[in-house]
Structure 1
Amino acid sequence: MYFTVKPKNRYIEVKAKGNEGIVTFPTFIPGSYVIREMERNIVEINGIRISKNKFYVKDKFSYLIYAASPDQREAISTNDYLFINPPAVFPFQDKSDEYCVELLITWKINTTLKRKGNVFCADNYNEFADSPIEASPNLKLLDVDDNHAVSTLDEINIEKLGKIVNIADSIMGIENKGKRYLFHFRRSDKNYGGIEHLNSSAIVVPWEAKEIERIFAHEYFHRLNVKQLIPADLNIDYETETYSELLWFAEGFTDYMSWQIVSRSNVVEPKDVAKGIANSLQTLTFPGSKRMSLAESSRTTWIKYYKRDANFLNSAISYYDGGLALALYVDMELNGKGERIDTLFKKLERKYTAEQIFSTIRRLGVDIEDLV
């Protein structure tokens, strides 16, 4: 499919070319486990609605999207800034087709999509959906090194970020040379955290936030854990909930590794690393940690973690905090045997199951099966 985008203040006009038939707008964003109903932002479309997120259209059609979300999982358009997470704006037909977007602006544009003249393309919808687009006349591209850069309107400590990616790459031990990685970074009124993508990540922190290194470490480590080492049960479906029992490893172990990265790179003081880990561990003192397993916490994220209420810690456990605690235990046990947790990631298969994680750790001399 081919999309032509004209951004306006709070809206995005889109002209699309595809095949006459049904187009589907995603209802959720991969990496964020809640049904967001992005199709709610469709203001008008010249097509016939056949369900909440499906429309029958001609081979050429247009639509208008409301785009005013500061959350980097969605889309925002102002008089001088545009950020698009593609599933929040663009529908799909055959996901194996090439998908391209042309932006009718003269602004600076940063994205990991392949550039073809003034058009940005991906070989398929999954790759297209995993490649945010950011644009502004004031947008900067700050090189961290030959293979990493930051797309931002704001200031950031490039030296610290360079240390983070160097240590992370040494831990991950994967072939990233020559593969450009882009951090989309901006500040906003509140903490929206980060979300991982194939060759990029998008991070939004509050104006006043100072200690932001760990969120960069967390999202960057997803380059390995989730994007190259993939939970076998984490199948992408843009319309329905995708249940996984492995988020305690995909997110919780990644969270622990983010503390390892900022510690080893000396960008965060040891006392602050210890305090951060302790803050995660203290949530496990609530009754929910005895009432819910880490596997169930992963499965129920759609209705529990992403919809936390005042009773959450009494009835459930965070797979981030529980997974971090388990990773800490594994690392301490391995340290006693002259190993590090890094070894685990080097021995996992590309698509890992819970049993494969258990057996790999067991071969290293630690048994965690009963703890999950």
Structure 2
Amino acid sequence: MTISYKISPASLHAHLFHVSIFIKNPDPAGQCVYLPAWIPGSYLIREFARNIVEIRAESDGKARALTKSDKHTWQAEPVNGPLEIHYSVYAWDLSVRGAYLDQTRGFFNGTSVFLAVKGQEKNSCNVEIIAPEGKEYKNWKIATTLPAHGAKQGQFGRYQAADYDELIDHPVEMGEFSQISFKACGIPHDIVIAGRHNADLKRLKKDLKQICEYQIRLFGEPAPFDRYLFMTMALGDGYGGLEHRSSTALMCNRDDLPFEHETQVKTGYRQFLGLCSHEYFHSWNVKRIKPAAYAPYDLSQENYTRLLWAFEGVTSYYDDLTLVRTGLISPQEYLDLLAQTVTGVQRSHGRTKQTLAESSFDTWVKFYRQDENSPNSLVSYYAKGALTALCLDLLIRQQTTGQKSLDDVMRALWLRYGKDFATRGEGVAEEAWEALASEVSGLDLKPFFDTAIRSTDELPLQALLADFGVDWQLRAAVGAADKGGWLDKELQAVNSLGVRTSIEGGFVKLSHVLDGGAAQQSGLSAGDLLIAMNHLRVTGGNLDGLLASQPTNGKVEVLAFRRDELMQFNVHLQPAEANTCGLRLKSLEDNLSITRNAWLKG
């Protein structure tokens, strides 16, 4: 039996979507409806139901009682005949996760706006998307991969989904936006960009086509969807992405998009292409190859798995690897990105306290709820997961003399778990991922996984990279802006406070104080505002210089505000830690060059 929805941008200035549900056969005991508490791909309880402003029920033209039973569930009184529920959703979340509405555009994920009908989640769903009223909105159109059910592609009207899970997995963009299309391995793809921009859409189309075709062929044709949509919101300052079964919602800085006069891949555009590559790879790895804990999702509460390193980390490995394998960036540019990832992990003291398995499991309370102590207490399953995937790939290539690689493991995962997921619904059990990697490679990989996943020991990055013709450098940072990269001449280590800083109200704020650093040992704390060092004012522009002017291991007097109290600290400076990575290609003999090319060129 079909569940029917209607959604309309009812009040653009008040940021309200109005939604109606028609339930033909409600539960005779009183129908329950609920809104998800989180959205797949973003592992934090977000309480979307808090944005429901008003809600009511009716049947046979009469108002019916609707009682809230918990934070996101309502129960209607028993009725004889169909039940209708009407409600308004406040939409002012400018992100890829929620819903947004104003006079310039509308956007929503189904998890934010569509109540589920308890007990009928497997029923088919129809949804009518209604255009806003007013002649100023006559040129609005929509972008979504929801299958049409009478509506023309890009137009308001009726759409459908096989069940509730599919309904909430096709976000919708509405408004006036740029759009360009291409085919990858014969599959139609669309790029939609909302917001003001001057992007070179032809170049973007050409570059994304290469990314998409490479990844489709990596797993094997045909693609697991009939059509794909990149929907992007261009902002003055923004970044983010969220994967869906046949689309992705993205946010970027408008200046990161390519301009017509540009011929190089600038830093921001490289980052945007990496984001697109990451979310597209998720079409296989997490949307169809899923952890068993997500098959199916329970959207009412946390879903725990120790495998996020394999889904987010492995995807993070392949996102930039795809760029170098398609020729969009050079091998050295790829190594520079890899060095930045290594640097980020090395600068996280939490890597010595939290394993990758623990990081995956604790994402609900740690990774998505970071605070001033996070660098001391957690490691990113994205970043360290990517480095673990790199090590695993190189190890398999090394031990099988190039006969097998991580590519073969990913294809095996696709064939065993992903390709038929829609009919079988089988997820990857906690121990199954590692077992399949050993099976495909023919290697005993348990010692590697014990080290990489279940311990806080350092990864064997340096040794493995050396075997593939990559020089390794681990040095001290040369300033706060140093994110990593090769230095031909290593500089003398500068003094360090052992902090991360930001600017607040013109003051240098200690956003993070790192374990064992000079600041922590002197009593400085996160949140303190630096005022002066040795009687000289501290600013965002002179802190590095003030530290460099002091003798190595010297002592300085620091004045700082903690809340509204002025405090004095005697700080014994320390040399900057060697936690900044540089990587570079080295000249190789022909046989090693072939091995490295097989890795970097696929």
Structure 2: where are the runs of 5+ without partners?
Answer: 57-65, 78-82, 132-137, 151-156, 257-267, 418-426, 454-602
Q: CA deviation at 1:269?
A: 3.4
CA displacement, residues 8-60 of structure 1 (integer Å, 9 cap, x when unaligned)? 31111122212362110111111110011111111111133222111124711
Q: Which secondary structure state, in structure 2, belongs to the residue aligned with residue 208 of structure 1?
A: helix
Which residue of the partner structure matches residue 260 of structure 1? Answer: 321
Aligned residues: 371
Letter in 2 for 1:103: I
Q: Answer with 19-28 or 354-363: which moved more.
A: 354-363
Task: Give the Cα separation in 2 of the matches to 1:284 and 1:140.
Answer: 38
1:275-290 matched pairs, under 5 angstroms: 275-285=336-346, 286-290=348-352
| Counterpart for residue 277 of structure 2 | 217
C-alpha RMSD over aligned residues: 1.8
In structure 2, the residue matched to 1:63 is: 87
For 1:50, the equivalent position in structure 2 comes to 69
- In structure 2, distance between residues paired with 1:252 and 1:72: 20
Q: How does 1:39-188 map to 2 (within 5 A)?
A: 39-46=49-56, 47-57=66-76, 59-93=83-117, 94-105=120-131, 107-117=140-150, 118-136=157-175, 138-145=176-183, 146-153=187-194, 155=199, 156=201, 157-176=204-223, 179-188=226-235
Q: Is the 8 A contact 1:283 1:313 kept in 2?
A: no
Alignment partner, residue 21 of structure 1: 31
Whether the aligned pair in 2 keeps the contact of 1:201 and 1:220 (CA below 8 Å) is yes
Distance 1:264 1:302 in 2: 34
SS at match of 2:148: strand
Alpha-carbon separation, structure 2, partners of 1:113 and 1:67: 20
Q: Which piece of structure 1 moves more, 167-176 or 234-243?
A: 167-176
Structure 1-normalised TM-score? Answer: 0.94
Are the aligned partners of 1:198 and 1:223 in contact in 2 as well (CA < 8 Å)?
yes
1:347 paired residue number: 412
Instruction: For residue 177 of structure 1, report the CA deviation from its aligned partner.
Output: 7.3
User: Which residues of 2 match residues 328-367 of structure 1 at below 5 A?
Assistant: 328-336=390-398, 337-338=401-402, 339-348=404-413, 349-350=416-417, 351-363=427-439, 364=441, 365=443, 367=445
Q: Is the 8 A contact 2:225 2:246 kept in 1?
A: no
- Structure 2 residue matching 1:115: 3-state secondary structure: coil
Deviation per CA, 1:314-336: give whole Å up to 9, x if none: 11111001111111101112332
Unaligned stretches of 5+ in structure 1? Answer: none
Residue type at the aligned position of 2:408:
T
Change (3 A) 1:74 1:177: closer
Query: CA–CA distance in 1 between the matches of 2:229 and 2:444?
Result: 36
Answer yes or no: is the 8 Å Cα contact 1:213–1:267 preserved in 2: no
Change (3 A) 1:178 1:357: closer
User: Structure 1 residues 170 and 132, CA, compared in 2 at 3 Å: closer, same or farther?
Assistant: same
Which deviates further from its counterpart, 146-155 or 213-222? 146-155
Structure showing greater radius of gyration is 2
Q: 1:27 to 1:192 in 2, by over 3 A?
A: farther
CA distance in 1, matches of 2:166, 2:224: 20
Among candidates 286, 294, 302, match of residue 226 of structure 1: 286
* 1:121-166 deviation per Cα after TM superposition (whole angstroms, max 9, x unaligned): 1010001111111111x23432121422112235341111111111
Distance across 2 between alignment mates of 1:280 and 1:254: 14
With 104-113 and 86-95 compared, the bigger mean Cα shift is at: 104-113
CA deviations 1:256-286 (Å, max 9, x no partner) are 0111111111222333322222222123323
Distance 1:115 1:316, change over 3 A: same
Number of the residue aligned with 2:371: 309
Cα 1:52–1:356 shift into 2, 3 Å: closer
Deviations 1:180-227 (A, max 9, x none): 111111212443411111111111112333321000000000111112
Aligned to 1:2: 4
Q: Specify which structure has the bigger relative contact order, considering alpha-carbon pairs within 8 angstroms and separated by 6 or more residues.
A: 1
Alignment of 1:235-254 (within 5 A): 235=295, 236-254=297-315
CA distance in 2, matches of 1:5, 1:357: 41
For the residues of structure 1 that align with 2:239 and 2:4, how far apart are their CA atoms?
30
Residues in 2 aligned to 1:272 and 1:101: alpha-carbon distance in whole angstroms: 46
Does the aligned pair in 2 maintain the 1:147–1:177 contact within 8 Å? no
| Aligned CA distance change for structure 1 residues 307 and 189 (closer, same or farther; 3 Å) | farther
Instruction: Look up the SS of the partner of 2:294 in the other structure.
Output: coil
Change (3 A) 1:5 1:190: same
**C-alpha contact 2:305 2:430 (8 A) present in aligned 1:** no
Instruction: Work out whether residues 143 and 173 of structure 2, in 8 Å CA contact, stay in contact via their aligned partners in 1.
Output: yes
Amino acid at match of 1:229: I
Q: For 1:310 and 1:366, how far apart are their aligned partners in 2?
A: 40
SS in 2 for 1:82: strand
Query: Which runs of structure 1 show a deviation greater than 4 angstroms over 4 or more consecutive aligned residues?
Result: none
Distance 1:357 1:243 in 2: 16
Distance 1:61 1:234, change over 3 A: closer
What's the offset of the Cα at 1:357? 2.2
